[in-house]
Chain A
Amino acid sequence: MTNFLSLILIVLLLSIFAGLIRVFRGPAPAERMLAAQLFGTASVAILLVLSQVMQMQALLDVALVFALLGAVTLVAFVVLAERGAR
């Protein structure tokens, strides 16, 4: 089971790295924000799976904080990019 979950972890990590290509290519900030949203969700997923693999319940709290901060960061992206564009 651990091996299977580890493979899942690798897949999720690779999907984060693949998303990075979109950050470099852009072209608009909106695309980069979208990629950032993917990173937030995917890292929450990784933490959930890791909590199973490492048998650490505390990682759920970490995942919760990641989820909150992902949202806050995205709002910061949108607001500051919007105002910057004026």
Chain B
Amino acid sequence: MTPDMIYGAAGIAVFGIGLVGALCAQDRLRRVLALKLCSVGAGFLLLVGAWREPPGTPDPVPHALVITGIVVMVSATAVALALIRRLHSLEAEDER
């Protein structure tokens, strides 16, 4: 039972949960959140790959990749949320 095994399993589970949410969620906001969960799952996988024994001597490259992934994901989230807001306003206008 090393941290990499434990968190690797958790990461894959989180990815799967996010996948379910991304496919099934009806609420637009919830779908964005589900996608964010997927990205955290992928982050876990990379970080687990970087884990080395003894603890505290990880491979730094995946760390950099995950940081990049986080920034990319926040950009995508921001655009998706802007689309949701805009669509909501447009739909409200159309109803009037």
Q: B: which residues have CB within 8 A of A? A: 55-56
Chain A 47-86 interface 0/1 with B at a Cβ cutoff of 8 Å (1 = within): 0000000111000000000000000000000000000000
Give Cα A56 to B55, complex, Å. Answer: 11
In the bound complex, residues from chain B placing their C-beta under 8 Å from that of A54 are 55-56
Looking at chain B's contact residues, the main secondary structure is loop
Report how many residues on chain A are interfacial, defined by Cβ distance under 8 Å.
3
In the bound complex, residues from chain A placing their C-beta under 8 Å from that of B56 are 54-56
Q: A: which residues have CB within 8 A of B? A: 54-56
CB distance from A10 to the nearest CB of B (A): 14
In the bound complex, residues from chain B placing their C-beta under 8 Å from that of A56 are 56
List the A residue with the shortest CB-CB distance to B55.
Answer: A54
CB distance from A38 to the nearest CB of B (A): 22
CB distance from B25 to the nearest CB of A (A): 18
4 A-B pairs closest in CB distance: A54-B56, A56-B56, A54-B55, A55-B56
Give Cα A55 to B54, complex, Å. Answer: 13
Give Cα A54 to B3, complex, Å. Answer: 13
List the B residue with the shortest CB-CB distance to A56.
Answer: B56
List the B residue with the shortest CB-CB distance to A55.
Answer: B56
In the bound complex, residues from chain A placing their C-beta under 8 Å from that of B55 are 54
